[in-house]
Chains A and B, each alone.
Chain A
């Protein structure tokens, strides 16, 4: 898998700092887990986080803090990793195995989606989008941002061709008409941010098929 389209550096830094909205966070997690170059960038920002700890103004702990933690040491449960989603026909990246993914529903001819439950309150939503080969999406613009990770297959628009591992960042300046590549279905993880009050319920329903 050779990645040619990467996320904006600011989003990767936000991911490293843990400050992103849950939808953006998930899109970064999926991309980073499969992209060594972006993983290095995240590691580097984490390294700067380590330096920040060394440089920060100390805030004294409350009296008895150490003793309180010591008292918990012996009864600490060992860390058990969450069970991964199994029996999934989409062969998803392992990061997604820790998320609850809803049932598939059709949103347009040849296009189906599965909503992903995001932890915490989020101004974004995330879903898996699966489109048949050769599907043409409607030309459109949108508010907010749209982060897309290609998991399988490909699509193209004037920004280039996007294959497995590639990341597409869209914002409100976009006016795209993506086309899904021939040969195999295209499976993407999509995280959309934006004001849902503006998009409205109807916008949420049609969102998945107005653009990849």
Chain B
């Protein structure tokens, strides 16, 4: 069964579906958090909070505009931003990073067709991106790995890592602009 379908079931209060999502995604979120430098305690907490938010927000999940894993990724990312800010501000945080990623309500009609078109464009661009370029973006931005590691993973000289990353992002931009 697809994860998106399970999230739909969770929205209806299905705890069995929720357990499956938890078992699949919680260790992954925790793994990513560890990879990006979180302590074991913080990684565990963000993973738990992320899955808690999956339960709370399941009804807001829109399978038309995002994949399940990408959606869960954004939840974890937002919670991590909040956690970092909370530490920096010694406990007081009155801001929710989630709000920074919302589309302006003044934007033109955001109907299902439009959202689907957007999702298809993004999907197409991602599938046209080479494996190496996708990995460059993942290692550099998502996993925040040092350039030395990226050079090793991609089998390229250290001095070329920066330009490879830039090239990958430019290519992604170009693919998104040309697919309609």
Q: Which residues of A contact B (CB under 8 A)?
A: 9-10, 12-14, 16-19, 22, 25-26, 29, 32-34, 36-37, 39-62, 65-66, 68-70, 72-73, 76, 78-79, 81-82, 93-95, 98-99, 119-121
Q: How large is the interface on B (under 10, 10 to 19, 20 to 34, 35 or more residues)?
A: 35 or more
Q: When A50-B72, A52-B73 are in contact, do A43 and B122 touch as well, CB less than 8 Å? A: yes
Q: Across the two chains, which residue of chain B brings its CB closest to A77?
A: B56
Query: Given A54-B28, A69-B22, A70-B15, A33–B104 Cβ distance below 8 Å?
Result: yes
Q: Is B105 touching A44 in the complex (CB atoms < 8 A)?
A: no
A55 CA / B140 CA spacing, docked (Å): 15
- Asked if residues A119 and B94 are in contact (CB atoms below 8 Å), the reply is yes
> Which residues of B sit under 8 angstroms from A13, Cβ to Cβ?
137, 140-141, 169
Cβ A120 vs Cβ B34 within 8 A: no
Given the known interface contacts A9-B173, A76-B55, the answer about A119 and B123 at a Cβ–Cβ threshold of 8 Å is: no
Secondary structure of the A side of the interface? helix
Set of chain B residues within 8 Å of A52, measured between Cβ atoms: 32, 73, 138, 142-143
**A49: nearest residue on chain B (CB-CB)?**
B73
B-chain residues with CB within 8 Å of residue A37 when the two chains form the complex: 176-177
Chain B residues lying within 8 Å of A39, measured Cβ to Cβ, are 103
Say yes or no: A119 contacts B73, CB within 8 Å.
no
Judging by beta carbons under 8 Å apart, are B89 and A16 in contact?
A: no
User: Of A44, A50, A76, A121, which one neighbours B89 at CB under 8 angstroms?
Assistant: A121
Residues of B within 8 A of A57 (CB): 31, 35
Residue B17 is within 8 A (CB to CB) of chain A in the complex: no
Which residue from chain B places its CB closest to the CB of A91 in the assembled complex? B106
B69 touches A18 (CB 8 A): no
Measured CB to CB, the nearest residue on chain B to A79 is: B56
Do A120 and B85 touch across chains, with their CB atoms under 8 A apart? yes
Contact of B44 among A36, A41, A65 (CB under 8 A): A65
- Chain B CB count within 10 A is highest, among A42, A53, A62, for A53
The distance from the CB of B131 to the nearest CB of chain A, in whole angstroms, is 11
- Shortest C-beta distance, B95 to chain A (Å), equals 4
Contact in complex: B44, A119 (CB < 8 Å): no
Q: For residue A97, which residue of chain B has the nearest CB?
A: B99
- B116 CB within 8 Å of chain A: no
The 8 closest A-B pairs by CB, nearest first: A120-B85, A50-B70, A50-B69, A9-B169, A121-B88, A49-B73, A119-B95, A29-B100
Q: Given A19-B144, A49-B77, decide whether A40 and B102 contact each other with a Cβ distance below 8 A.
A: no
B154 at interface by CB-CB < 8 Å? no
Q: Tell me whether B96 and A98 are in contact (CB under 8 A).
A: yes
- If A51-B134, A62-B44 touch, whether A43 touches B28 (CB-CB below 8 Å) is no
Inter-chain pairs besides A50-B73, A53-B73, A69-B22, 17 sampled, C-beta below 8 Å: A9-B173, A13-B141, A18-B97, A19-B144, A32-B101, A46-B73, A47-B67, A51-B134, A53-B69, A58-B28, A66-B19, A66-B23, A66-B26, A79-B57, A82-B94, A82-B96, A93-B104
What CA separation (Å) do A68 and B45 show in the bound complex? 11
Q: Are A18 and B137 in contact (CB under 8 A)?
A: no
Q: Are B172 and A41 in contact (CB under 8 A)?
A: yes
Q: Is the CB of A40 within 8 A of B70?
A: no
Q: Give the residues in chain A near B55, CB-CB below 8 Å.
A: 69, 73, 76
> What does the 1/0 interface line of B1-42 toward A look like (CB < 8 Å)?
000000000000001000100110111111111110000000
Would A99 and B27 count as touching, CB distance under 8 A? no
